[in-house]
Amino acid sequence: MTEGLVFNIQRYSVHDGDGIRTIIFLKGCPLKCPWCSNPESRLAVKPTVWNKNGQAETVGEWWTVDQLVEEVMKDEIFFRTSGGGVTLSGGEVLMQAEFAQALLKELHQLGVDTAIETTGCFPLQEIASLTPYLNQVLFDLKIMDQTDARQVIGINQELVKENFAFLRTQNLELTPRIPLIPGYTTSQSNIQALIDYLIQQEVSAVHLLPFHQYGSNKYQYLGWEYQLKDASTLTDAEVRTIQSIFEAEGISANVDGLK
């Protein structure tokens, strides 16, 4: 029986796809984003032990598809009344592509709206294996320069672009999500490269995700160095300035929680 390694299930989310959603966080990610707020999800698909406030705790639990479907269907009423559904996040969902496909297929057959959040850094056929069972894809676009992307986060940006272009041709809602990380993604040249690419792909709306420090304690639990521990968050005015650059180019830029 196929099992997947899950490190969190979050209910009543309104930020990761349409309506009210249940988010299933799958473990494993090959990237090394310095700003990662889920560092416990990284590296291989196997449980991680961290030390939380003096207590050793295992992160990651194996679930079958049937168990997870039963769990998330407890929230079905919220999906139906809000136009929501289930989002698979991570980590990187495609690290467990076979399990993700089995889970999405089952949910799709039950009529549940399905979404994934992905960095798109896997072979095209793995992404293509999920698309028949997907309504939405939240696709991270981070650092556009190929050399910088490889050095800083360990990603093949050419492959990311190839996968993004493929998803544009599929019958699903594709939403680029851009983390705004000072010193990494918010330079003038990176913002312009993002805009140029989005215009080339005829994309008219993005989500901007301002940097936050919510994950900083997790690095302590893991005993890892957190490179951004002293980094400042962006002010609302700074976020609005970046938002206006996208909007001046005809790209609607949604930011949750902006006052």
* Least CB distance to ligand SF4 at residue 169 (A): 24
Dihedral sign computed on CA atoms, order 203, 213, 233, 15: positive
Count Cβ neighbours within 10 Å for each residue of 14-45 and write b for 16 or more, e otherwise: eebbbebbbbbbbbbbbbebebbbbbbbbeeb
Polymer length of the chain: 259
| Residue number, 119 or 135, with CB nearest to ligand SF4 | 119
Give CA–CA dist 214/46, Å, rounded. 23
| Residue number, 10 or 82, with CB nearest to ligand SF4 | 10
* Least CB distance to ligand SF4 at residue 210 (A): 14
| Residue number, 35 or 79, with CB nearest to ligand SF4 | 35
Give CA–CA dist 99/28, Å, rounded. 13
**DSSP code of residue 205:** E
* Binding interface with ligand SF4 (CB under 6 A): 29, 31-33, 36, 38, 41-42, 90-92, 119
Give CA–CA dist 124/221, Å, rounded. 35
| Residue number, 33 or 191, with CB nearest to ligand SF4 | 33
* Least CB distance to ligand SF4 at residue 97 (A): 15
| Residue number, 69 or 127, with CB nearest to ligand SF4 | 127
User: Counting Cβ atoms within 10 Å, is residue 171 exposed (0-12), middle (13-18) or buried (19+)?
Assistant: exposed
Give CA–CA dist 74/76, Å, rounded. 6
Q: What share of the chain is helix, strand, coil (3-state, %, to 5)?
A: 40, 25, 35
* Least CB distance to ligand SF4 at residue 91 (A): 5
* Least CB distance to ligand SF4 at residue 240 (A): 24
Give CA–CA dist 92/115, Å, rounded. 13
* Least CB distance to ligand SF4 at residue 227 (A): 12
| Residue number, 60 or 91, with CB nearest to ligand SF4 | 91
| Residue number, 21 or 42, with CB nearest to ligand SF4 | 42
* Least CB distance to ligand SF4 at residue 39 (A): 7
